[in-house]
Chains A and B, each alone.
Chain A
């Protein structure tokens, strides 16, 4: 039977070996981090952004690298997902961006701080995270392409980039996207192109009580979106997009 002395030896030797291995692995990890995390791209702005991220307690609601709180979206790939213009607009006036939805505190960041945070998030997005976050692997099952009744025009790859980054944050198309504003399926059948473009310039000019914020869109982007949205026709009878959800 195990003696107390034997038990103590097991504890001391086991702990010593594991801790030694852990320290060695830590050295090795720190040697590899620069290459794996694109450390060369960490400029002054990124570093300022990182400290602003900490002192603003962003992890109190969001996750980054999957770490933080679970009240607001995961931001590791936000630069790629939403693009800089959306992030800037969000940081400038968070409460106008998702009207009537979960609220983010308005920190009153100035232009430089916003630039720093965007630079930080851009850098985070370039890190090699061993595959995190994984692409949704059941998405194809959720929205079968054949059943959605959408035109090839609305296929994700054919959409303007700004649509996939900004519009989709609040609106859905083909059952994919946000739930803040109305779905955009068939929007071209409801409004013509000049109306849509006027709307995109400033929603409240067209409809005073609109909750949609005026977004930082360039003339080119508005033209591009106007062309795209005005061509989204209602699905043919019998293939309602509703059945796809």
Chain B
């Protein structure tokens, strides 16, 4: 760590950890409901649990991205965050909006559009919050000593994420319009601009962890994000097959989304090659593990399993079944959850000054959570494929099919328990590392007014 204000990242990372833990709790509620034990129905009906589960995911990942930006940007552009006080306020307000939304769900306060369930009033607060964040990061970059491709790709990803939130706020009475714009947000986020964020963060981690020349890493970064957009933008069409949009989307969406795995494959090859070529043995093997793991699991989950049901002739039968849940779980885990856990693993020892990354618990967290997630994906796949054949192809009644596949949810919950143990170990490690009071690296300039301001805001003056 080179700058005082990088410590702001810790607040976001800690929030991520808390929300991620909560997300898993709601996942279990749904898993048990699918097994036939919907015991909380009167307090937390399924739709509330599901909405909470999804929105917690979005918020903790965004928190992780924001934390990553606050950590990475100062180091990349070589200056303190422009307004540390505002950054801290922005964090507090994000937590406040998130809590209001989650509590609101339990009192049936919804907008009710998958992934975008938070009510319109809160949408506006999110916009204000994100604009503040973007301005703060953008300002820091403008006043920085250098502009790197890595930081620009990261910033562009964050900026576009913010802009693409807006189509989701277009008011409409028409279900097709509603769905059309909703995918501008959700698809263009996860299969578009979030991959820029992923590329930026991954490039930063690879530069730090492998010691490969920045020019080489950043060149391939352009190629990968180029392929991402080439396939991902028109690949949005795979959400437009059956919503009342023209038939040509079957061809366009099918062809372009079939190319989407290439971007993820590129990312995996790139990360693995860089790690193998890298001469520097960085002591933080744990962070490197998460980084490489992220690139591989995102290829399998997002690329391969996405391709498995993206072609219109397959999607006709799998659309709206548990097959989607199979793909969704591993895709989000591989591409974005592991990425955030990777950047936290890298930053935490530096933020807190405690080298917890080399412990056995860290390895346990990595392997347990990944094995658990693979097993969960298999359970979802079996349940989903059974559902497709029994319900969609043979015409069995919905509830009859659901009873047939209840048994696979026992498998799911068992796998989820392994997964939760792994994540639990990760969170324990995070808590054990303690507060962000780590030393700023030797040779860094701690005497500037900016650094003093950051210390004042973050309450670390005593170390000055």
Q: Which of chain A's residues has its CB closest to B113's CB? A: A54
A236 contacts B by Cβ under 8 Å: no
Consensus secondary structure, chain B interface: helix
Q: Which of chain A's residues has its CB closest to B317's CB? A: A134
Contact B400 A4 (CB under 8 A): no
B450 contacts A by Cβ under 8 Å: no
The interface bits of chain B over 14-56 (1 if a CB of A lies within 8 angstroms of the residue's CB, else 0) are: 0000000000000000100110101001000111101100000
Chain B residues whose CB sits within 8 angstroms of the CB of A133 once the complex forms: 242, 316, 392
The interface bits of chain A over 194-236 (1 if a CB of B lies within 8 angstroms of the residue's CB, else 0) are: 0000000000000000000000000000000000000000000
Chain B residues whose CB sits within 8 angstroms of the CB of A26 once the complex forms: 180
B169 contacts A by Cβ under 8 Å: no
The interface bits of chain A over 166-193 (1 if a CB of B lies within 8 angstroms of the residue's CB, else 0) are: 0011001000111110000000000000
Number of B residues, CB within 8 Å of A: 76
A-binding segment of B93-101, B286-294, B319-327, B359-367? B319-327
Contact A11 B38 (CB under 8 A): no
Contact B176 A37 (CB under 8 A): yes
Contact A33 B177 (CB under 8 A): yes
Q: Whole-angstrom distance from the CB of A6 to the nearest CB of chain B?
A: 9
Q: Which of chain A's residues has its CB closest to B389's CB? A: A138
Given known A22-B236, A133-B392, contact A103–B38 (CB-CB < 8 A):
yes
Q: Whole-angstrom distance from the CB of A22 to the nearest CB of chain B?
A: 5
B281 contacts A by Cβ under 8 Å: no
The interface bits of chain B over 97-129 (1 if a CB of A lies within 8 angstroms of the residue's CB, else 0) are: 000000000001011111001000000000000
Counting residue pairs across A and B whose Cβ atoms lie within 8 Å, the total is: 219
B399 contacts A by Cβ under 8 Å: yes
Contact of B34 among A42, A60, A71, A98 (CB under 8 A): A71
The interface bits of chain A over 9-48 (1 if a CB of B lies within 8 angstroms of the residue's CB, else 0) are: 0110011001101100110111011001101001000010
Q: Which of chain B's residues has its CB closest to A107's CB? A: B108
Q: Which of chain A's residues has its CB closest to B231's CB? A: A18
Contact B400 A178 (CB under 8 A): yes
Contact A29 B246 (CB under 8 A): yes
Interface residue ranges of B402-438 to A (CB < 8 Å): 402-403
Interface residue ranges of A49-66 to B (CB < 8 Å): 50-51, 53-61, 63-66
Q: Which of chain B's residues has its CB closest to A120's CB? A: B175
A118 contacts B by Cβ under 8 Å: no
Chain B residues whose CB sits within 8 angstroms of the CB of A63 once the complex forms: 320
Chain A residues whose CB sits within 8 angstroms of the CB of B398 once the complex forms: 72-74
What CA separation (Å) do A129 and B319 show in the bound complex?
Answer: 13
A-binding segment of B65-73, B137-145, B222-230? B222-230
B277 contacts A by Cβ under 8 Å: no
Chain A residues whose CB sits within 8 angstroms of the CB of B234 once the complex forms: 18, 21-22, 25
Contact A67 B243 (CB under 8 A): yes
Q: Whole-angstrom distance from the CB of A124 to the nearest CB of chain B?
A: 6
Contact A130 B397 (CB under 8 A): no
Interface residue ranges of A91-113 to B (CB < 8 Å): 98, 101-103, 105
Chain A residues whose CB sits within 8 angstroms of the CB of B114 once the complex forms: 59, 67-69
Contact A65 B246 (CB under 8 A): no
Q: Whole-angstrom distance from the CB of A178 to the nearest CB of chain B?
A: 5
What CA separation (Å) do A65 and B34 show in the bound complex?
Answer: 22
In the complex, which of the residues B34, B243, B398 has the most CB atoms of chain A within 10 Å of its own CB atom?
B243
A-binding segment of B212-220, B330-338, B345-353, B456-464? B212-220
B250 contacts A by Cβ under 8 Å: yes
Given known A60-B48, A60-B112, A130-B241, contact A18–B233 (CB-CB < 8 A):
yes
B252 contacts A by Cβ under 8 Å: yes
What CA separation (Å) do A134 and B412 show in the bound complex?
Answer: 28
Given known A42-B174, A74-B320, A179-B397, contact A11–B244 (CB-CB < 8 A):
no
Contact of A39 among B174, B222, B321 (CB under 8 A): B174
Contact A60 B51 (CB under 8 A): yes
Q: Which of chain B's residues has its CB closest to A31's CB? A: B246
Contact A66 B242 (CB under 8 A): yes
Contact A4 B174 (CB under 8 A): no
What CA separation (Å) do A58 and B178 show in the bound complex?
Answer: 15
Contact A29 B180 (CB under 8 A): yes
Contact B320 A54 (CB under 8 A): no
Chain A residues whose CB sits within 8 angstroms of the CB of B47 once the complex forms: 57-61, 69, 71, 105
What CA separation (Å) do A124 and B397 show in the bound complex?
Answer: 21
Q: Which of chain B's residues has its CB closest to A21's CB? A: B234
What CA separation (Å) do A55 and B51 show in the bound complex?
Answer: 12
Q: Which of chain A's residues has its CB closest to B380's CB? A: A70
Contact A177 B397 (CB under 8 A): yes
Interface residue ranges of A139-173 to B (CB < 8 Å): 139, 141-142, 168-169, 172
What CA separation (Å) do A168 and B173 show in the bound complex?
Answer: 33
Chain A residues whose CB sits within 8 angstroms of the CB of B227 once the complex forms: 14
Contact A98 B222 (CB under 8 A): no
Chain B residues whose CB sits within 8 angstroms of the CB of A14 once the complex forms: 226-227, 229-230
Offer 15 A-B interface pairs, CB within 8 angstroms, sorted by A: A3-B219, A10-B223, A19-B233, A28-B246, A32-B246, A33-B176, A54-B178, A59-B113, A60-B45, A65-B244, A67-B179, A130-B241, A169-B397, A177-B397, A179-B399
In the A-B complex, the 3 residue pairs with the smallest Cβ-Cβ separation, listed nearest first, are A60-B47, A136-B395, A66-B320
